[in-house]
Amino acid sequence: MIEFQQVTKAYQVAGRSIPALHSTELTIEAGQVYGIIGHSGAGKSTLLRLINRLEEPSSGSILVDGEDITALDAPGLRRFRQRVGMIFQHFNLLSSATVADNVALPLRLAGELDRRQIGERVRSLLERVGLSEHADKYPAQLSGGQKQRVGIARALATEPSILLCDEATSALDPHTTRQVLQLLAEINQELKLTIVLITHEMDVIRRVCDQVAVMDGGRIVEQGKVSEVFLHPQHPTTRSFVFDDESSTDQAEDFAHVPGRILRLTFLGEATFAPLLGQVARATGVDYSILAGRIDRIREQPCGQLTLALIGGDVDAAMTHLAAAEVHVEVLRG
Amino acid sequence: MSELFSNIDWYDIWIATLDTLLMLGGSLLFTVLLGLPLGILLFLTGPRQMFQRNGLYAVLSLIVNALRSLPFIILLIVMIPFTKLITGTSLGVAGAIPPLVVGATPFFARLVETALREVDRGIIEATQSMGATTGQIITRALLPEARPGIIAAVTVIAITLVSYTAMAGVVGGGGLGDLAIRYGYQRFQTDVMVVTVVLLLVLVQILQSIGDRLVVHYSRK
């Protein structure tokens, strides 16, 4: 578990103090995939680097499994960092070392295993990320997706309990991004690893994260379960992330000329596939028109959101019917 | 043919060539031994680096710049008492090596500093995130990544030292430069001058092509 307690960070630039992170409280449960989304300059990169103290906090404390890591001395910090893997947007592999030597590097630095054990560990890691046949190549000979998989194998070498991902898919194309995210999700399940990732793409959050925090101007402005934040965004920044790539504003004002009662239904899980609207229409005699909608998946869970206008028939009975089903109903206009 | 090179004593040429090679080898060795750590120190204490120390960096920088701005011919003369102190003589190969090292080390340190700055900061950050000590970051990440740049720096400095050894002839340092000045210039024996210049040219060519090959061999980008 990772806990931020009143953590702040300010940079000293030309004698002035520039705040990068305002007082922040944050709890990340063990085994979760925790996403932090924000535009550039929102402070998400600073927040991520505070977890392994690549950035030192200006005040506050950061507890990892109950231990205050801000109090660690230099040797303690080095041992702690061996329990925290990190992958990067630009991979940061040694260009002068082969794939196998890159993956072996954290093990050689730690100096706890002998040559044979390191060789075995590297082989099994490369096999896990599907790069066994590339062990003797240099990073320059690999594609972006392959480089990031080397990065992941390297980050996992010391069997860490936490993996930090710094915009790990931002330099990759959409297809490769999905493959890398899939690998991260599998690793999270197999190794019960806590993953903290930062991104500026809602799609990344939706595909792999359990929890999300939205950052803006050095503050966490919204946080919670991904399904909750994704389907019911509150803060304007969150709304811009959620609706940006869906060309839907989802605002009732846009439907001012549409008659009837306007509702927004949110489906989650198997309810998404139930033939609910037809049943309700037949039972209560209402007509409906669909004004806006989206159907998607959050991790493996299907979800959908429809904006409807209900006209004629027994609208109140229809409402009761809908509320009884596993559907979240919001009235946008009575 | 023998008419053309009538003044040349090939034995003298051979000895002078050996002297030049000895001066070059000896001074290159000490220049690298002293300049590499100095270059690493300049890099680490420099602006926005791991051990940023503005005061120390300013002092080191000033010393390096001062030595680099001093013409080598002046350095040769200024160094005479100091050279006598450590080698017992200011003449010959042994007398030439200390001023050569002092003349070349600051330049080499700057080249090393520049080569290290070319290493992506992300690589330092990644190595830090693995829990590396500063020593490990230098030996396991920075130096391997900067190796082609450092080899190129050694090549540049070796060639600079060849031209410096020629100047060492002025203060009795021996070698091909000495030969060129004493016979080619002072005694108007142009053929000696031509032969020494050609030999120096061949030496520089060999050094450059070895350096270039090593850079290519170690470049993985």
- pLDDT, tens digit, for every residue of A246-265? 545 555 567 778 888 888 88
A270-289: b or e for each residue (b if 16 or more CB lie within 10 Å)?
ebbeeebbeebbeebebebe
B1: in domain: no
Give the DSSP letter string of B100-135: HHHHHHHHHHHHHHHHHHTS-HHHHHHHHHTT--HH
Q: Is the ipTM of this complex over 0.90?
A: no
Question: If pLDDT is split at 50, 70 and 90, which confidence band does B4 have?
Answer: low
CA distance B199 to B13: 9
B122, B130, B220 ranked by CB distance to A81: nearest: B130
Mutate to test the interface with A, among B48, B125, B129, B151 (most CBs of A within 10 A): B129
CB atoms within 10 A of CB A249: 11
- B83 in helix, strand or coil? helix
Residue with tokens 């082609």: B148
Q: CATH for A253-333?
A: 3.30.70.260
**Helices B92-117 and B80-87: angle between axes, nearest 10 degrees:** 100
Q: Which residues sit opposite A278 in a β-bridge?
A: none
Residue with tokens 């990544």: B145
pLDDT tens, position by position, B171-194? 777 888 888 888 877 888 888 888
pLDDT of res. A246: 53
Q: Where are the domains of chain A?
A: 2-244, 253-333
B127: in domain: yes
pLDDT of res. B187: 80
Number of domains within chain B: 1
Name chain B contacts of A106, Cβ cutoff 8 Å.
Answer: 130-131
Global pTM value:
0.87
- Report residue A116 as tokens: 């044979």
pLDDT of res. B120: 94
Name chain B contacts of A96, Cβ cutoff 8 Å.
Answer: 144-145, 147, 218, 220
CATH 3.40.50.300 is the classification of domain A2-244: yes
- With a pLDDT cut of 90, the percent of chain B lying above it is 63
Q: In degrees rounded to 5, what are phi and psi of residue B8?
A: -85, 125
Q: In what order do the strands lie in the sheet with A59-64?
A: A16-28, A2-13, A59-64, A67-68
Nearest CA in chain A to B131: A78
pLDDT of res. A257: 83
Name chain A contacts of B218, Cβ cutoff 8 Å.
Answer: 96
Nearest CA in chain A to B219: A96
pLDDT tens, position by position, A11-37? 988 889 999 999 999 999 999 999 999
Within its chain, how far is the Cα of B35 from the centroid?
9
- Rg value, chain A, Cα: 24
B146: in domain: yes
- Report residue B20 as tokens: 């030049």
- With a pLDDT cut of 70, the percent of chain B lying above it is 98
Q: Which of residues 107-146 of B touch A (CB under 8 A)?
A: 120, 122-123, 125-133, 136, 140-141, 144-145
Q: How far is residue B221 from each of residues A97, A98, A249, B217, B218, measured CA to CA in Å?
A: 11, 12, 46, 11, 9
Give the number of beta-carbon pairs within 8 Å between A and B: 64
- Contacts from A232-238 at CB under 8 Å and sequence distance 24+? A232/A266, A237/A38, A237/A39, A238/A214
Nearest CA in chain A to B142: A94
- A1 in helix, strand or coil? coil
B133, B145, B220 ranked by CB distance to A78: nearest: B133
Q: Is the pLDDT of residue A208 over 90?
A: yes
pLDDT of res. B2: 55
- B72 in helix, strand or coil? helix
pLDDT of res. B186: 80
- A334 in helix, strand or coil? coil
CA distance B140 to B150: 15
B193: in domain: yes
B5: in domain: no
- Report residue A254 as tokens: 């846009």
- Owning domain of residue B151: 10-218
Average pLDDT of chain A to the nearest whole number: 91
- The secondary structure of chain B in percent helix, strand, coil, rounded to multiples of 5, reads 80, 0, 20
Q: How far is residue B144 from each of residues A27, A95, A214, A267, A297, measured CA to CA in Å?
A: 39, 9, 40, 55, 45
A88, A106, A139 ranked by CB distance to B130: nearest: A106
B4: in domain: no
CB proximity list for B139: less than 8 A, separation 6 or greater: none
CA distance B38 to A115: 33
pLDDT tens, position by position, A284-322? 889 888 888 888 888 888 888 888 888 888 888 888 888
B16: in domain: yes
* Mean pLDDT value across residues A235-241: 90
Burial class (CB in 10 A: 0-12, 13-18, 19+), A322: buried
B131, B144, B147 ranked by CB distance to A82: nearest: B131
pLDDT of res. A14: 83
Question: If pLDDT is split at 50, 70 and 90, which confidence band does A56 have?
Answer: very high
Residue B160 distance to chain A (closest CA, Å): 28
pLDDT tens, position by position, A82-129? 999 999 999 999 999 999 999 999 999 999 999 999 999 999 999 999
List the CATH number of the domain containing B170. 1.10.3720.10
Residue B27 distance to chain A (closest CA, Å): 29
B3: in domain: no
